[in-house]
Amino acid sequence: MQLGAFSVSLSVRDLTASRAFYEKLGFAAIGGNAGENWLIMKNGPVVIGLFHGMFDGNILTFNPGWSSEGEPLPDYTDVRTLQHQLKEHGITLTSEADESGTGPASFTLTDPDGNQILFDQHV
């Protein structure tokens, strides 16, 4: 099961302060839009997303179809296939992608400890 690139999506109170903090830890913005209250930051192989006012709590994020560099992959497991496989394993989803669609889509689930997990395909 290929889950895609992994990152942690952080719900932040102040995007500017959080960006400055993570830059001091060696992270650099590689994507996003501060004007829209979100940034993607990277330090080596580690990727985090900073999101202000978009969701409650932090989220473990997998991006099927993306490399850890944020580049499209030629071969990957589509998010709808992943969704189907997880449901076959008895995983309860909190939101679902339209299985009849193609291209970008997402679904979510929650682990036994209440941690949110997002599968977000951009390609």
| Token code pair at residue 91 | 């995983």
- Domains contained in the chain, CATH given: 5-121 (3.10.180.10)
Residue 68's pLDDT is 83
Closest CA to 3 of 123, 118, 93: 118
Phi and psi angles of residue 26, each rounded to the nearest 5 degrees, phi first:
95, 5
pLDDT in tens, 71-119: 899 999 999 999 999 999 999 999 999 999 999 999 999 999 999 999 9
pLDDT at 16 over 90: yes
Phi and psi angles of residue 6, each rounded to the nearest 5 degrees, phi first:
-110, 140
User: What's the rounded mean pLDDT across residues 39-58?
Assistant: 96
Residue 22's pLDDT is 98
